A and B are shown apart, each in its own frame.
Chain A
Amino acid sequence: MKENRYNIIKNSLENFDIEYADANGTPQLIIKKEDLIGVATKLKKELEFDMLVDILGVDRFQKENRFEIIANLYSNKNKDRLFLKVKLDSKKPECPSLTKVWKSANWYEREAFDMFGIIFTDHPDLRRIYMPDEFEYNPLRKDFPLMGIPGSLELPKK
């Protein structure tokens, strides 16, 4: 990202409590959960980040702030990229849904919900996307074993 554009972004987000980090050349904004919708709306409306490319969940497997979600934003006009990172609670990972800002968040959040059990509040259609509906676990959490849990998926009887 160009230096002056990064400064413009920093200036316009002054009111929010943001920690600026760097993900190997791409700026990463670590924000508070409550600010997520506000920052996202501002980034979309005023700073031309028109595309939400991806959302990924991360399980840090630690006591505090175990879960994270990272949103990958792209601006088609300025051709640059930005990551938004939100740290979530360990016991009850809840996060406001970005579907109101970008419609594409729908499936990305369903994936994070399926894989990590992160609850996106006021998501319109929060269902599992890969695993069957009756599956009880979240496969990408670090405490889910690689070999799977025997009996977690019911097999047809002989």
Chain B
Amino acid sequence: MPQTIYDKLKEGDPSIRRTKILEALESEDLYVIYSDTLENEMVLNMGPQHPATHGVLRLLIKLDGEKVIRAVPDIGYLHRGYEKLAENCTYHEYIPHTDRLDYLQPVHNNVGYALAVEKLLGLELTERTKYIRTICCELGRIQSHLIAIGSMIMDTGALTPFLWAMREREKIMDLLDLITGVRFTTSYTRIGGLAQDISDEALKGIKKFVEEFPGYLQDIRKLVDRNKIFIQRTEGIGYVSKEDLIEIGITGPVLRAAGIPRDLRKDEPYLIYEKLDFNIPTYTESDCLARYYVRVEEMLESAKIVRQCIEKLPSGPIKTPDPKQVLPYKEKVYTKMEELINDFILINFGNTPPVGESYQAIESSKGELGFYIISDGSGHPFRLKIRSPSFCNIQGLPLMLQDHLISDTVVIIGALDPVMGEADK
């Protein structure tokens, strides 16, 4: 006859772990106070290698049962010292490094950096460049938000919308391939211009994409918007009051989901956003569901912006005619002497902005992406500070996780949408 666990326990079998709960079971006293490991506070280490932390974010979570008492984010696992590198690059050499900041949508970083340097140099862009940059920025925003909502929905347990979002993202990558020549790390901008002009084929492709995109997005929404599981997993989860969000310096869709229409495209207009007609979607719930809705509606607004840009796209040069600061067209470098000399000097010594300080911020898909550049008049930045939205947003994570269940942490991180390449610089 096989022994039961209680028989083994009575015999004092060492293979049985004498937990407190079993001891309590044995005890004669009816009201014995036992303490179980599951009822104690426990510290859980989540990450840096964890599929739900979207990169190498590490969280130390103090748990009471399943409830999060306190969470401490630990970052720096992807720190590559980009600010130090910038001090040893010319302004053009640094452009490929900006791709690796927010690697889900490299165009925004390129544009933000180029705008910051141009502000320092006092360069005025040509109209066509501004329009093309705006198109690329908005495509980048859709690209990033697709990953954000896709992975957030996947964190709640649905895989299909993620795959559909990836399919749409793939189309944008193909378009970026047509526009910039590269699918992923675009390095598209040059100081005072662009690497190459946009082709008619690419314009046709973008037009087709923005026409079809709202329909495909609707397919995803049909699966999710009235899905009981999704709504129960996200509604009221990760709530932070808007005063706290401002106090902790959070920007982007998370802030707009709390009802504050802070969008630098409207507040500090850059490129051609002043001339375009678009709305800033805001919600007031400040929970994960509202963050999802803000992103979805922002994508539709982005598609609207791209459509307007293509309609209005003016013809003309893509580079500012300033041979001392802007790289000449490649064809001319190979055939004309003057351009060859300018190209040589710019590549060797770099742009030489006047001594001074300058800050330019753009509204990236995650929030305010800013570059503070201090120049000492030489070819390298004296100091370049990247104000990365993900870094500042992760700072609010402990507030959002407070008093939620451990299973909600993945959804909250998904709705915050941090990118560690940017947070760790």
Contact = CB atoms under 8 A, between A and B. Distances in A.
Contacts, number: 84
B119 interface: yes
A129 to B, nearest CB: 6
Interface stretch (B23-31, B80-88, B170-178): B80-88
B83 A115 contact: yes
Interface stretch (A6-14, A35-43, A89-97, A101-109): A101-109
A76 B201 CA distance: 42
Interface in A99-154: 102-104, 106-108, 115, 128-132, 139-140, 144, 146
A139 B76 CA distance: 14
Interface residues of B, number: 36
A84 to B, nearest CB: 13
Interface string B287-331: 000000000000000000000000000000000000000000000
A61 to B, nearest CB: 9
A93 to B, nearest CB: 15
B247 interface: yes
Given A56-B372, A103-B247, A140-B83, A23 B357 contact: yes
A95 to B, nearest CB: 17
A83 B359 contact: yes
Interface stretch (B151-159, B210-218, B387-395, B410-418): B387-395
A76 B383 CA distance: 27
Interface string B401-425: 0000000000000000000000011
A103 B248 contact: yes
Nearest to B387: A54
B358 interface: yes
Nearest to B383: A58
Q: How large is the interface on A (under 10, 10 to 19, 20 to 34, 35 or more residues)?
A: 35 or more
A106 B88 CA distance: 29
Contact of B359 (A26, A58, A76, A79): A26
Contacts of A58: 374, 383
A105 to B, nearest CB: 8
Contacts of A18: none
A130 B359 contact: no
B277 interface: no
B54 interface: no
B374 A54 contact: no
A24 B76 contact: no
Contacts of A53: 249, 251, 361, 368, 370, 387, 392
Interface string A13-43: 0000000000111101000000000000000
Given A23-B359, A102-B249, A54 B370 contact: yes
A103 B38 CA distance: 34
B260 A76 contact: yes
Contact of B246 (A23, A76, A131): A76
B274 interface: no
Nearest to B374: A58
Contacts of B79: 130-131
B194 to A, nearest CB: 23
Nearest to B357: A23
Contacts of B359: 23-24, 26, 72, 81, 83
Given A52-B249, A130-B76, A130-B79, A24 B372 contact: no
Nearest to A125: B72
Interface string B144-162: 0000000000000000000
B31 to A, nearest CB: 42
B356 A130 contact: no
Given A24-B357, A24-B359, A103-B248, A130 B75 contact: yes
A23 B358 contact: yes
A125 B84 CA distance: 25
A108 B383 CA distance: 16
B385 interface: yes
B391 A107 contact: yes
A140 to B, nearest CB: 6
A104 B248 contact: yes
29 contacts: A23-B358, A23-B359, A24-B119, A24-B357, A25-B358, A26-B359, A28-B357, A53-B368, A53-B392, A54-B370, A54-B372, A54-B392, A58-B374, A58-B383, A76-B246, A76-B262, A79-B268, A102-B247, A104-B392, A107-B391, A107-B392, A129-B76, A130-B76, A130-B79, A132-B76, A139-B81, A139-B84, A146-B84, A146-B88
Nearest 10 CB-CB pairings of A with B: A104-B249, A24-B358, A130-B76, A56-B385, A130-B79, A23-B357, A54-B387, A79-B267, A107-B395, A103-B247
Given A103-B248, A107-B395, 4 more contacts: A24-B358, A108-B392, A130-B79, A131-B76
